[in-house]
Amino acid sequence: MDAVSKDSLVRQLIALGVTPTGVLLVHTSFSKIRPAQGGPLGLITALRAAVGAAGTLVMPSMTSDDGHPFDPKSTPRPDMGIVADTFWRMPDVLRSESPHAFAAVGPRATSWRWCPYI
């Protein structure tokens, strides 16, 4: 199966109702979608393009391991999937400090960042 392009993903997201000024909360299983050009980073790039510079992209980034301290700058999230785990590590993405964390990028990222429970 051919990988879907960023432009095609953006068109599909807009057709689904994603708006360039809205907030898009995404929780996905990369293995369950059609391959995207550029892998997980390519999918994230398409999601960011669909919400535009005025929109905010949010992904879950919580931990299920209450036995270890949570550090928003370093605690990995492999059980949340490769897309979410790649997203929170990006340099301009903010991650909340709660173990029930979300990661976000965009103008409303700071309002999401400090909400431990959404």
- H helix or E strand, kind and range, residue 40: helix 39-51
Instruction: Flag whether pLDDT at 92 surpasses 90.
Output: yes
Q: Calculate helix-pair angle for 39-51, 6-15, nearest 10 degrees.
A: 40
- In this prediction, residue 73 carries a pLDDT of 80
Sign of the CA dihedral 43, 46, 48, 50? negative
Per-residue pLDDT, averaged over 24-47, amounts to: 90
Going by C-alpha positions, the residue among 25, 65, 57 that lies closest to residue 75 is 65
Q: Is residue 74 part of a domain?
A: yes
Q: Is residue 118 part of a domain?
A: no
43 — pLDDT class (breaks 50, 70, 90): very high
- In this prediction, residue 32 carries a pLDDT of 80
Range of the domain at 26: 6-113
Residues ≥6 apart with Cβ < 8 Å to 67:
none
Mean pLDDT of the chain: 86
Per-residue pLDDT, averaged over 76-94, amounts to: 87
Q: Is residue 90 part of a domain?
A: yes
